[in-house]
Amino acid sequence: MFEGSPGQRHVTEGDRYLYAQAPPKFKLVIIGTGTIGQEHMRVAAMLGRARVYGIFDTQIHSLDSAEENFKKFSTDTLVRYPDLHSACNDREVDALMICTPNYTHFEVLKVAMASNKAIFLEKPMATDLQDAAAIVRLSSAYQSFIQIGLQYRYKAQYVEAFHEALERRSLGSLKTISVSEYRPPFLDKVGQWNKFSRFSGGTLVEKCCHHFDLINMFAQAKPSRVYASGGQAVNFLDFEKEGERADIDDHAYVVIDYANGVRASFTLNMFCPDFSEEMIIVGDEGKLIAQENFNFQQQAESTTTVEILRGELGVSKKMDVSYTRALEQSGHHGSTYYEHIAFVDQLEGKVVNCATALQGMWSMIVASAAQQSMLTGQTVNIEGFIEANDLKTLFP
């Protein structure tokens, strides 16, 4: 990142050696230019391995905003497509990134897949299980690939936690996993679709599929039972849009049992003044604590740590973990940047550890079962839940 500093901008292209960067190999189209779409545009320009070639959105204001903001970090001219079909089928383009509202994902994806281009599909992959199942089936026969935008697996503290817990096996055999997130309410969106479960899929699908993806990966087994309690206590109680009252949950407690005996819990609270996440994993030989704190009010830099406690069984340690400051500030504390690396690596034919459609489906199964449990007050048996939702053919 040193080549971008003010004191080094006098170095011309002809004198660049350490600063030299290969030209982008691939061209991207961003479909949906809201908050996350613009984050992907910014990160793609920063990484420099793929060029943002064009953009499409049904909202002219979003397109105008995206194009204006893009000028701050790129001199590339953007193609603005008049419709979804032309955005997906431009022969100049190598890959598509779908960043539209949740409830549009499946319909947009079906149009995009007709292009046979590589596709990045933002999380959650869909808002209901039938559409998610259809995406899994379609992806298995797709001539290119579909990557799901579950980027929390790339956060610095979780990358280190995977290494310690699953590769080094510092904790021995894992037994319990506890994850929590405390944060402010959902932000405003165009049309305020994220205030309504029928558009977002529900809070546990929309927001928490990231965390269920993480828990599933650490548990290394299929979930067997889910119980959840939660609801809408504070946020948007008086919010209406076109006569419809907001129904989005703002807190939840979820308990998950896995087939291998691992037990997990997840806590969500969305009426806090700042952001904090914590994951505690305990095995038969140690304990891991991964924490992230971000003072939203003061805009202070986030602090992220991973601690290993092994007692008399071995070395204990506490680590400050982070990406470089520029990456931390690029979006989702640097995880979007590494998500892009995985996407471009796949475009180059490399084997990567990114979120597949099937993994996205399992995160949705846990989230949807938890939503059902909150609604009924009953524990959800996952095998019965899968059968009741006509999903058995996906999991023979």
Task: Give tens-digit pLDDT for 279-289.
Answer: 999 999 999 99
pLDDT band at 62 (very low <50, low <70, confident <90, very high): very high
Geometric angle at alpha carbon 380, from 378 and 139, rounded to 5°: 145
Q: How many CB atoms lie within 10 A of CB 163?
A: 12
- Are 287 and 280 spatial neighbours (Cβ–Cβ below 8 Å)? yes
Instruction: Provide, rounded to the nearest whole percent, the portion of the chain with pLDDT above 70.
Output: 99
State the pLDDT at residue 86. Answer: 98
Q: Is the confidence at residue 79, as pLDDT, over 70?
A: yes
Please tell me the predicted confidence (pLDDT) of residue 1: 61
The DSSP 8-state label assigned to residue 378 in this structure reads S
- CA–CA distance, 88 with 31 (Å, rounded to integer): 9
Distance (Å, rounded) from C-alpha 262 to C-alpha 133? 26
Enter the pTM of the model. 0.94
Average pLDDT over residues 136-155: 96
Beta strands 79-80 and 95-98: pairing type? unpaired
Superfamily for domain range 2-123: NAD(P)-binding Rossmann-like Domain (3.40.50.720)
Averaged pLDDT for residues 248-257 = 98
pLDDT, residue 127, reads 97
DSSP states along 125-194: S-SSHHHHHHHHHHHHT-SS-EEEE-GGGGSHHHHHHHIIIIIS-TTSSEEEEEEEEE--PPPP-GGGGG
Overall CATH class of domain 153-324+356-394: alpha beta
**What pLDDT does 65 receive?**
97
| pLDDT at residue 280, rounded to an integer | 98
- Strands 79-80 and 50-56, by their bridges, are parallel
Residue 224 has a CB neighbour count (10 Å cut-off) of 15
Residue 185 to residues 3, 58, 157, 221, 336, Cα–Cα distance (Å): 38, 26, 23, 32, 21
pLDDT tier at 352, thresholds 50, 70, 90:
very high
Domain ranges for the chain, please list them.
Answer: 2-123, 153-324+356-394
How far is C-alpha 262 from the geometric centre of its chain's CA atoms? 24
Q: What percent of the chain has a predicted confidence (pLDDT) above 90?
A: 89
H helix and E strand count, the chain: 13, 17
Q: What is the pLDDT of residue 334?
A: 92
DSSP helix/strand/coil, 241: strand
Do 2-123 and 153-324+356-394 come out as alike in CATH topology?
no
Q: What is the pLDDT of residue 11?
A: 82
Q: Give the pair of three-digit tokens for residue 229.
A: 């309690």
